[in-house]
């Protein structure tokens, strides 16, 4: 089936049979809501669809439904995510296993109806697992995996599945829609686990009670520990998905031509596809470069990255967002935090692809050349805003 990224997300959600889904339109995600409503209107899906009056309610409705015991789905983008920010944090505190897709877009501050990853960064410490995907099929497959991860008894955390707004959201590609019975089978594992605690009429349960002093600290600690567990769990789920469906994505990170590489480019989302082409070209020119596609952003795939980056001579990080206060991209900043484990190597931060600007093959090739030069001990510029240099 040749469908857009947004439609693919809707198919992914439908296959997981959510009990309650909410929608509020925002560019470039609106088609997800339309497609789900169409499924519902034609009896393909038994989900209770709530067409809310704003994103804040979109999140609160699914939080309530989730804590009552339901499987839930919602979708948003950019300032839709900003408008639900209190509820986003609250839902994570509830440990509500919501799955939300985000068609990434620049976040408020400067008006931009265009793509970027600033919305991902704006919620990185909200307590949600954040996965970033590269292409259409990966959207669908990751949504299915996201339910396995969110609802796992050892995790019980909400998951955001991120894909590039405007690029992936509107681009139609050939998508293989899995059989419903296979998806049911894959998700049935969850039924064998202990039941998570949910609201019950007539049963004393304070959902979202007031954490006081050490009680608060304990709840926060448990939330953090569950988040840490999610990293290895995603690898496990990704492997199992591969066995059943014949497609897997590397779990926390995808490693491309890494083993014998001297230098590495780190990227996430659709640009990873472009980067693979640039890596191939540079390999032909004799530069031993590899790519790491960052799939998991929260929890940060620290261990997997350390293993993959150990011994590499220089790293280039491409960010489609900005970070205030560190004079580098947010993902570059996080990579720098691995220094105690991977040693002091040049880490070059590239800011590119803001506001729908293309990250082209020449952009990445140029970055690879500079990273290679830094690996050879030459001086380098720590941060480069590529669009400003053209």
Where along the sequence are the contacts to another protein (CB under 8 A)?
19-20, 22, 46-48, 50-54, 56-57, 59-70, 72, 86-87, 90, 199-212, 215-216, 218-219
Which residue, 21 or 354, is less far from another protein as judged by CB? 21
Non-local (6+) Cβ contacts of 162 within 8 A are: 101, 102, 104, 117, 120, 130, 131, 132, 133, 269, 297
Read off the tokens for 186. 């894959």
Q: Least distance to another protein from the beta carbon of 80, Å?
A: 14
Beta strands in 120-201 (DSSP E): 129-132, 159-164, 172-174
Q: Measured from the CB atom, is 55 or 138 closer to another protein?
A: 55
Nearest-approach distance from CB 125 to another protein, in angstroms: 18
How many Å apart are CA 30 and CA 105, to the nearest integer? 13
Task: Give the residue with the Cβ less far from another protein, 42 or 379.
Answer: 42
Shortest distance in whole angstroms from residue 262 CB to another protein: 50
3 state SS for 314-360: EEEEEECCCCCCCCCCHHHHHHHCCHHHHCCCCEEEEECCHHHCCCC
Closer Cβ to another protein, 179 or 200, answer by number: 200
Q: Which residues 6+ apart lie within 8 Å of 333 measured at CB?
A: 323, 326, 349
| Alpha carbons 58 and 137: distance in angstroms, whole number | 26
**DSSP structural state of residue 214:** H
Structure tokens at 326: 């560190």
Whether the upstream peptide bond of residue 109 has omega within 30° of 0, thus cis, is no
Nearer to another protein, 26 or 291 (CB): 26
CB nearer another protein, residue 60 or residue 169: 60
Question: Which of the 8 DSSP states describes residue 163?
Answer: E
Pick 87 or 308: Cβ nearer another protein:
87
Angle between helices 213-245 and 302-309 (to 10 degrees): 60
| Residue 98 Cβ vs another protein, minimum distance, rounded to whole Å | 10
For residue 126, the minimal CB distance to another protein (Å) is: 14
**C-beta of 176 vs 200, nearer to another protein:** 200
Query: Do 23 and 49 form a contact (C-beta atoms < 8 A)?
Result: yes
Tell me how far apart the alpha carbons of residues 181 and 186 are, in angstroms, rounded to a whole number: 9
Q: State both tokens at 316.
A: 């280039």
Positive or negative torsion for Cα 8, 85, 149, 250: positive
Nearer to another protein, 74 or 137 (CB): 74
Closest separation in Å from C-beta 45 to another protein: 11
Helix (H) or strand (E) holding 99: strand 99-104
- How far apart are CB 69 and another protein at their closest, in Å? 7
Contact 36, 49 (CB under 8 A): yes
């Amino acid at each position: 089936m040749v469908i857009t990224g947004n439609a693919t997300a809707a198919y992914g959600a439908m296959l997981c049979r959510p009990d309650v889904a909410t929608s509020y339109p925002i560019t470039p995600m609106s088609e997800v809501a339309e497609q789900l409503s169409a499924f519902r209107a034609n009896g393909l899906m038994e989900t209770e669809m709530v067409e809310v009056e704003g994103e804040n309610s979109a999140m609160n409705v699914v939080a309530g439904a989730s804590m009552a015991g339901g499987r839930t789905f919602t979708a948003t983008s950019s300032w839709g995510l900003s408008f639900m920010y209190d509820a986003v944090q609250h839902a994570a505190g509830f440990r509500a296993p919501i799955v939300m897709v985000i068609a990434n877009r620049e976040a408020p501050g400067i008006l931009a109806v265009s793509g970027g990853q600033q919305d991902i960064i704006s919620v990185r410490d909200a307590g949600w697992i954040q996965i970033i995907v590269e292409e259409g099929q990966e959207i669908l497959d990751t949504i299915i995996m996201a339910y396995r991860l969110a609802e796992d008894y050892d995790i019980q955390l909400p998951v955001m599945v991120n894909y590039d707004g405007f690029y992936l959201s509107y681009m139609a590609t050939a998508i293989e829609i899995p059989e419903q019975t296979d998806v049911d089978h894959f998700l049935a594992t969850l039924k064998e686990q202990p039941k998570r605690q949910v609201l019950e009429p007539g049963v004393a349960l304070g959902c979202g009670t007031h954490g006081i002093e050490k009680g608060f600290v304990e709840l926060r600690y448990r939330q953090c520990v569950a988040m840490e567990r999610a990293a290895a769990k995603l690898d496990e789920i990704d492997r199992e998905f591969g066995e059943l469906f014949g497609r897997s994505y590397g779990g926390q990170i995808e490693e491309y031509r890494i083993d014998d590489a001297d230098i590495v480019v780190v990227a996430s989302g659709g640009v990873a596809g472009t980067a693979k082409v640039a890596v191939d070209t540079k390999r032909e020119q004799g530069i031993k470069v590899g790519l790491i596609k960052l799939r998991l952003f929260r929890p940060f795939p620290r261990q997997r990255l350390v293993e993959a980056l150990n011994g590499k001579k220089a790293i280039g990080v491409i960010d489609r967002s900005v970070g205030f206060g560190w004079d580098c991209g947010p993902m570059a900043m996080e990579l720098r935090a691995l220094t105690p484990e991977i040693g002091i190597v040049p880490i070059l931060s590239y800011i590119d692809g803001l506001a729908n600007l293309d990250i082209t093959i020449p952009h990445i090739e140029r970055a690879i050349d500079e990273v290679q030069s830094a690996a050879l001990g030459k001086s380098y510029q720590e941060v480069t805003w590529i669009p400003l240099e053209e």
